[in-house]
Structure formats: C-alpha cells, structure tokens
Amino acid sequence: MRLTTKGRFAVTAMVDLAMNAQNNAVKLNAISERQKISLSYLEQLFSKLRRAGLVESVRGPGGGYVLGKPAGQINIAQIITAAEDRLDATQCSGKADCHGGAPCITHNLWESLNHTIHNHLSSVTLAHLIAQDQTPKEHVVTLTHIHV
C-alpha cells in the first residue's frame, strides 16, 4: 500500500484546520507547532490542497487558511488524492500490465482492495473525525485473569 506521509500529514493538517478555523483563518506555523509537521512540508501540502479546492488562502493581517468547503463536504479520500495523486495497492498503478504487459494473477484482489479503501475513505468526512474527537473518552479498565 502506498499511503505515504504526504497523505497522513495532509489528513492530520486538515483535521487540525477544521477544528481551529471556526471563526478565523489558521496560520500554517500554528498547525506545524501543534502537529509537529515541518512548515515547509505543510506549505507544499497546502499548495496541493488549495489546487484541489479543499482549502482557501486568506491574505493580510489575520491571514492563513480556511476550509474550501464545509467540513461535512470534505472526505478523507479527497484529501489523500489531493496530496498523493493516487492511493493504490497494485504494482501497475491500475494499468493491468503488471506481469509482462498483462494483469498479474492477483491484480483483481489488489484492485478490489483499492475500491474498498476508496469507498471507506470517501464515507468519512472531516466533520466525522471532528465529532469523534469531541466524543468524551471512556476510561477503559483492563482486567487481568489469573490462572492457578
């Protein structure tokens, strides 16, 4: 699976932006500090996210970035696709030429996995992730069984 740090960091940064841009634009250096992601890396990612229409830049005093759409309309697949260009489990990048110009014997398996992952990530929005983060965390008690 080729989900790189680009995709992971893009999702993390977008969740941070969605949580912190309620009334004002968010500066990338603030996201960088909170999430421990290099500022130059964030600048590259946000350039791609802006081109994809997922964020908008705000110039001037108090400038930074805001979401390009409501959090409920931005899904995780869109973010990863903007950052990575493609999330792909096949060796042939979906071209079906992985075995001497023909599909390998497991091509359909990996292609099916691609569809399953894409469908799942498309069903999860930034709003879902924010809501999960706001859900009170229950204390988990682990019991150890002693066998005699």
> Which tens digit of pLDDT belongs to each residue from 114-142?
889 889 999 999 999 999 876 554 434 44
Question: What is the per-residue pLDDT for 145?
Answer: 45
Average pLDDT of the residues in 93-111 = 82
Question: What is the per-residue pLDDT for 134?
Answer: 67
Please, what CATH class does the domain formed by 3-132 belong to? mainly alpha
Task: Quickly list DSSP for 15-70.
Answer: HHHHHH-SSS-B-HHHHHHHHT--HHHHHHHHHHHHHTTSEEEE-STT-EEEESS-
In a 13 Å sphere around the CA of 138, the CA atoms on its Cβ side amount to 3
Query: Per this entry, what is the length of the chain?
Result: 148
pTM greater than the 0.75 cutoff: yes
Residue closest to 38 by CA, chosen among 70, 13, 59: 13
3-state secondary structure (DSSP) of residue 75: strand
